[in-house]
Amino acid sequence: MKDVQNEQDSRNISIDRVGVSGVSYPIVVLDPEFSEQHTVARVRMSVSLAGDTRGTHMSRFIGLLNDFQGKVTLENLEDMVDIIQESLGGEKAQLSFEFPYFIKRKAPVSRIESYSGYDVVFWSSREKDRFDFILQVRVPVQTLCPCSREIAETGAHNQRAYVDISVRMKNLVWIEEIVDIGERAASAPVFSLLKREDEKYITEFAYSNPRFVEDVAREAVLELEKDDRITWFRVQVTSQESIHNHDAFAEIERDKRI
């Protein structure tokens, strides 16, 4: 059968990224507590394409997922982008996995345990011989407004917020560590399961710890700056303001390598 993708292309326009997206796939990731964790990823895989070739061979992307049987470690990611690059012949290859990751958490007072879910992205790429990896973690938290607390006689508006932290690293940083940074930066952490004594504690803790989105971003930056394993980071805080029907947000990106 004719291989239309392999045809010569006379338009001479190279393509930055061509591939598949929205692929749902079961994966296994490393978990420091239970050694591995089964979850489900949304996968995006692409390669660059030279100006003289008509199309890429999309089925090889999915074949690769099968070959690795969904084992997604940092080592495997590097192997996978290598194989994409080689088998599809592009200068650049990109591969990302988005998945929910669960951590067993203890409530602050009752110590009762439950799972908290975090949306994680493993993003990796290879350009010529340079491998790049970004870990992104979405940390749900509470923000309590310093202005509202200051000006109101009683109470202070607070709300659920999300701290999205992305890092490039030279030594391994666990998802759990990023979650901790995001939580410490906020007014309070959130939990799946709280008893009344925990709710009292969290309410009072948040009230004693008011934070604007600006504060949350800066507190996270303070920790990310001093961690030598991290070479680049981006912090995005989005707070679902409870006095508005829109969100407040703050973003800071820093590259320590320059």
Is the Cβ of residue 38 or residue 229 nearer to its own copies in the bound state? 38
DSSP-derived pairing of the beta strands 188-189 and 158-169: unpaired
Which residues, including other chains, have CB under 8 Å from residue 5's CB and lie 6 or more apart?
53, 54, 55, 56, 57
Interacting stretch for its own copies, rule CB under 8 A, among 9-17, 71-79, 121-129, 172-180?
A: 9-17
Interface with its own copies, residue 11, by CB under 8 A: yes
Is the Cβ of residue 160 or residue 229 nearer to its own copies in the bound state? 160
Cα–Cα distance for residue pair 233/167, rounded to 1 Å: 4
Is the Cβ of residue 8 or residue 59 nearer to its own copies in the bound state? 59
**89 φ/ψ sector (left φ>0, alpha ψ -120 to 50, else beta):** left
Interface with its own copies, residue 20, by CB under 8 A: yes
Site for its own copies in 181-240 (CB under 8 A): 188, 190-197, 199-200, 202-204, 206-208, 212-215, 217-219, 221-222, 238, 240
Interface with its own copies, residue 180, by CB under 8 A: no
Interface with its own copies, residue 49, by CB under 8 A: yes
Helical (H) or strand (E) element with 112: none
The values of phi and psi at residue 243, to 5°, are -105, -5
Among all chains, which residue has been given the structure tokens 């934070």?
211
Interacting stretch for its own copies, rule CB under 8 A, among 71-79, 144-152, 165-173, 174-182?
A: 144-152
Structure tokens at 93: 């290859």
CA distances from 236 to 134, 165, 177, 210 (A): 15, 7, 17, 18
Q: Considering only residues 8, 245, 257, 258, which one is a binding residue for its own copies as defined by CB under 8 A?
A: 245
Least CB distance to its own copies at residue 198 (A): 8
Interface with its own copies, residue 56, by CB under 8 A: yes
Interface with its own copies, residue 160, by CB under 8 A: yes
CB atoms within 10 A of CB 188: 22
Q: Considering only residues 8, 111, 130, 151, which one is a binding residue for its own copies as defined by CB under 8 A?
A: 151
Would you say 5 and 15 are in contact if contact means Cβ atoms under 8 Å apart? Answer: no
Is the Cβ of residue 124 or residue 158 nearer to its own copies in the bound state? 158
